[in-house]
Amino acid sequence: LKEDTELNGKTPTLLYGYGGFEISLGPKYIASSGIAWLERGGAYVEACIRGGGEFGPSWHQAALKEKRNKAYEDFIAVAENLIDSGVCTSKTLAARGGSNGGLLMGNMYTMAPHLFGAIHCAVPLLDMKRFHTLLAGASWMAEYGDPDTDDWDKYLYKYSPFHNIDADVERYPPMLVTTSTRDDRVHPAHARKMVAKLWDLSDADADGTDKKKKKDWPVYYYENIEGGHGGAANAKQSAFMTTLAYDFMMKTLKKNAEEMP
């Protein structure tokens, strides 16, 4: 954060995470985050959760398959610490992640909706029952498990966001879901199906019959028709996608902060 940014609970705070495939996050300068978030008075946080490679192979192995919940518990713990320490509140905390991090975001949406004021879920895996049948998904079973075996009943369904949307929840945080038509790694069907299901359920009551009772589930969707897994085909498109995400989160959190006492 910038030196003059005041951490008073109303600070727009962005929590980023990945937590998979032994990929490490670490200290670095991200120009887009600096310009689009820090220069606008926000605080930026990266969560080095289990599943990543920050502390070696054992850190990755600690969140494989049936232990995947550890990655999500770690991210929730970081979010709770930011709130408890007064850096932000749940209304001024956003979460962002893509690909495997998009699966993380989907699980934050279904597991801990009370902790976040906004979520950006990018090029995500969300249907863990069918991920292995789409594009490169079969190559990820060593990370997640095999849904065609008893892995599904034992643990996989527990972190399949598409299957864990709770129709009885009155409010989910505002979420932006972005994907690419030509993503050759994570099929855009994950994002499409999740958003369609959320839109359908938000317009109905718990049993899907009363269309007059609309829930407070703001969900926004953008699918770029070009680009691969990165979601953009050139620098112009990349800049647009980045701006779209940061503007959505910043405007949502600032609006929430204005409504706070």
For helices 100-111 and 189-202, the axis angle rounded to 10 degrees is: 20
Q: How far apart are CA 125 and CA 105, in angstroms?
A: 10
DSSP assignment of 159-186 equals G-GGG---TT-SB---EEEEEETT-SSS
Active site residues: 99, 229
Q: How far apart are CA 245 and CA 261, in angstroms?
A: 27
Q: How far apart are CA 34 and CA 13, in angstroms?
A: 13
Query: Strands 43-47 and 13-17: what pairing?
Result: parallel
Q: How far apart are CA 136 and CA 221, in angstroms?
A: 23
Surface-to-core class of residue 222, CB atoms within 10 Å of its CB (0-12 exposed, 13-18 middle, 19+ buried)? middle
Q: Which residues neighbour 74 within 8 Å (Cβ) at sequence distance 6 or greater?
A: 19, 47, 49, 50, 63
